[in-house]
Amino acid sequence: MTSAPLIPPPAPVPTPVAASAPAAASDTAPGSGAQAAGAPRSWDGPPTVAARGTVIVVAGRGEHPGVYERFGTRIAFDGYRVRAVGDPTRDPAGVTANIQSLLADPDLPSPRVLAGSDAGAAFVAALAATGAVEVDALLLVGLPADADDAARADGDSDADWATQLAARTACPTHQARLDADPAVRRDDLARPIPSSWLVDGDLAKVTVPILGLHGAADLISPLAPARARYAGAPRAELVTLDGGRHDALNDATHRSAAAAVVLFLERLRLGADLPTIARWS
């Protein structure tokens, strides 16, 4: 199906703003639980583990930063500081402000990787391709291939919530968490992704290394057209997860996805040319 836009399409890529305190979500009443859920989240490793880098995660449609707690905790345990910000389709300017504030934080070590899932992946790809942010690498999860990706969710009502859950993840633990989370917007997976983000997010213009994570069974952003987007990037590696759904970081294979991310981060620490650390022979 084709969903009508629920909000006016934002500007092609939000204009970067000066570093400031992290912004809260703009579409909730002050003091509301949803607003608190949308506030940026942080995960740091044990104090005995030296910080090895920073990963900034941009949430997908209908999500909030807390959705990435499992991923953030695991990556932080390996020494990487993880910060998560909200859904850019709801508040692109606020999300941009949060990213800029985090990148200006001298306490967050390099290398600094900007990550995004679903619409968040499209958003950060556009920021990097247009030079709106300077980071050391990108991590793109479930990267949308075209503006019709929203229609494939085929879920714009509570009656079809089970279909949306199954499209997002095959992990029963994460499905249960989303189902019980009042801050998750159940209809948002069918919201259109601004086409300007897809146009501006030309991976051929991204000069830093890219790691893509994509489920082979992703029904929202099918693998074949997504693979074509990565093919144009000068420095991209695509990891496909057999049987994987749309949210690779929170899918049944989330441990394997996290392991792939850690290996990428460790190689990135050795240089932007990503020297090989481990070989399967």
What tens digit of pLDDT does each residue of 98-127 get? 999 999 999 999 999 999 999 999 999 999
- 226 close to 140: Cβ distance less than 8 angstroms: no
Q: What is the tens place of the pLDDT at every residue in 36-81? A: 567 899 999 999 999 999 999 999 999 999 999 999 999 999 999 9
134 half-sphere exposure, CB direction, 13 A CA radius: 2
56-65 pLDDT, tens digit per residue, is 999 999 999 9
pLDDT, one tens digit per residue, over 244-261 is: 999 999 999 999 999 999
Distance from C-alpha of 101 to C-alpha of 105, rounded to nearest angstrom = 6
Summarize the confidence of residues 145-171 as an average pLDDT: 73
Res 155: pLDDT? 45
Span 175-181, average pLDDT: 96
Q: What distances in angstroms separate CA 121 from CA 88, 129, 160, 198, one per listed residue?
A: 10, 12, 25, 10
* 8 A C-beta contact, residue 59 and residue 117: yes
In the chain, % of residues over pLDDT 90: 75
Greater confidence (16 vs 141) lies with 141
Q: Which domains does the chain have, with CATH numbers?
A: 33-270 (3.40.50.1820)
The pTM for the full model equals: 0.85
Contact criterion met (CB below 8 Å) for 264 and 211: yes
Q: Phi then psi for 226, rounded to 5 degrees?
A: -65, -40
